[in-house]
């Protein structure tokens, strides 16, 4: 008891909150905590910080990530949404990449062909078609394509330009025409040059997704039977349509027109009409006749509700060749 009294006296001098109810061990621990040097306390904290696991939730990485998450949540609660950028991670190493011009990324043949075209010049139709036959970098007989940017809004039903045109000199492609019609029309279609003719047998081919044709001609009474295959034919542009002349009572006439070079064109979502008007091997004269037929047809399709210019720009090119700007006075 004498020892306890001495300890209580010392605790009183140190102004510790201990009483006689505390044990001798508790009083000694309280006195020792006051007498312990601050360096020892710091060493204990340091040892405690070092007692991290190599992996798992007590690993150094996991603890750091937990602290970062806690800081982020604290900033979120405080309304501080500013991100603290890490300078070291945001700094890109190495020199800034230099992007080469588009023309330099093209092939040598394309670059050589592009040298013949003056970028700032707008050619007339005859000059452009004469030039396009010289700027085809392809080894094969390339198609000559016309691209017309219109001032219409394709989302409006009355401005959705779509029509057909018969090219005087054809397209230069071998067109495979299929006919879906009653048996009474089969003989006439075969005489007109149809490649595939049938009714129920033709539907069996569609069931197998055998699409060995470029144009499908059907009679009006047979169109309901094709409704089942709209998802197969529609995306490929093969679904017969009265506007394109592929839904006809006179099947033989429709086949003759398709074989002779009757093609369909329509404006796309970007308000551009694309059409191949022949092959490079046609020469400038035949290409000019086909192009004029297309421009005349396109001009006749101008919507009455359109305000402003109908044709905004026209360019022409061979397949894989450079574009040539032409005047729109012909349209």
* Across 215-221, average pLDDT: 90
| Secondary structure class of 71 (helix, strand, coil) | helix
Task: Name the CATH code of domain 176-260 (choices 2.60.120.1310, 3.40.50.790, 3.40.50.620, 3.30.56.10).
Answer: 3.40.50.790
Beta pairing, strands 177-180 & 196-198: parallel
- Which whole number is the average pLDDT over 206-235? 87
Distance CA 299, CA 150 (A): 11
Query: Which tops the pLDDT comparison, 65 or 330?
Result: 65
| Residues whose CB is less than 8 angstroms from the CB of residue 253 and which lie 6 or more positions away in sequence, other chains included | 192
Contact between residue 161 and residue 266 where contact means Cβ atoms under 8 Å apart: yes
Q: Are strands 311-318 and 143-150 parallel, antiparallel or unpaired?
A: antiparallel
Domains of the chain, by residue range, sit at 2-78, 114-171+262-331, 176-260
Can you tell me the mean pLDDT for 163-191? 87
Alpha helix stretches (DSSP H) within 195-249? 200-207, 223-226, 230-233
Q: Using 50, 70 and 90 to split pLDDT, how confident is the model at 92? A: low
Least Cα distance to 151 among 315, 267, 264 occurs for: 267
Backbone dihedral region for residue 316 (phi beyond 0: left; psi -120 to 50: alpha; all else: beta): beta
* 114-171+262-331 CATH: 3.30.190.20
Phi, then psi, of 309 in degrees rounded to 5: -75, 140
Tell whether the model's pLDDT for residue 146 goes beyond 90. yes
pLDDT in the model for residue 226? 87
* pLDDT score of 227: 86
Decide: 267 and 150 in contact? Cβ < 8 Å.
Answer: yes
| pLDDT at 86 > cutoff 50 | no
Residue 319 has φ and ψ, to the nearest 5°, of: -55, 125
Q: How far apart are CA 85 and CA 50, in angstroms?
A: 29
Q: What are phi and psi of 320, to 5 degrees?
A: 70, 10
The C-alpha atoms of residue 104 and residue 226 are separated, in whole angstroms, by 49
Residue 177 has pLDDT above 60, yes or no: yes
- As a whole number of Å, the end-to-end CA separation of the chain is 119
Pair 123, 245: CB distance under 8 Å: no
Structure confidence at residue 75 (pLDDT): 76
Average pLDDT over residues 246-251: 88
pLDDT at 144: 92
Q: Which of 146, 88, 175 is nearest to 274 (CA)?
A: 146
Q: Is the pLDDT of residue 299 over 50?
A: yes
Closest CA to 261 of 273, 276, 239: 276
306: left (phi over 0), alpha (psi -120 to 50) or beta: beta
Closest CA to 253 of 189, 173, 310: 189
The pLDDT of residue 82: 57
- Tokens for 297, please give them: 């047809």
């Amino acid at each position: 008891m004498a020892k306890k009294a001495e300890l209580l006296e010392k605790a009183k001098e140190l102004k510790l909150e201990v009483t006689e109810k505390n044990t001798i061990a508790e009083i000694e621990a309280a006195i020792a905590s006051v007498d312990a040097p601050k360096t020892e306390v710091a060493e204990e904290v340091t040892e405690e910080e070092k007692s991290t696991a190599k992996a798992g939730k007590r690993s150094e990485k996991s603890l750091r990530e937990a602290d970062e998450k806690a800081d982020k949540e604290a900033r979120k609660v405080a309304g501080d949404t500013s991100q603290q950028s890490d300078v070291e991670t945001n700094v890109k190493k190495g020199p800034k990449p230099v992007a080469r011009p588009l023309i330099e990324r093209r092939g040598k043949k394309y670059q050589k062909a592009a040298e013949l075209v003056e970028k700032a010049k707008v050619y007339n139709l005859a000059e452009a078609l004469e030039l396009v036959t010289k700027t085809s970098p392809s080894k094969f007989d390339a198609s000559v394509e016309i691209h017309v940017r219109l001032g219409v809004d394709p989302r409006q039903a009355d401005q959705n330009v779509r029509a057909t045109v018969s090219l005087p000199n054809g397209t230069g492609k071998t067109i495979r025409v299929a006919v879906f019609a009653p048996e009474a029309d089969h003989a006439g279609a075969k005489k007109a040059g149809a490649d595939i003719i049938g009714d129920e047998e033709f539907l069996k081919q569609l069931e197998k997704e055998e699409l060995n044709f470029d144009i499908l001609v059907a009679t009006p009474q047979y169109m309901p039977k094709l409704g089942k295959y709209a998802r197969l034919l529609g995306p490929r542009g093969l679904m017969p349509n009265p506007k394109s002349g592929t839904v006809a009572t006179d099947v033989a006439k429709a086949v003759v027109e398709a074989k002779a070079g009757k093609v369909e064109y329509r404006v796309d979502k970007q308000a551009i009409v694309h059409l191949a008007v022949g092959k490079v091997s046609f020469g400038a004269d035949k290409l000019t006749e086909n192009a004029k037929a297309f421009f005349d047809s396109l001009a006749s399709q101008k919507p009455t509700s359109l305000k402003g210019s109908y044709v905004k720009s026209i360019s022409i090119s061979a397949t894989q060749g450079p574009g040539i700007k032409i005047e729109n006075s012909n349209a």
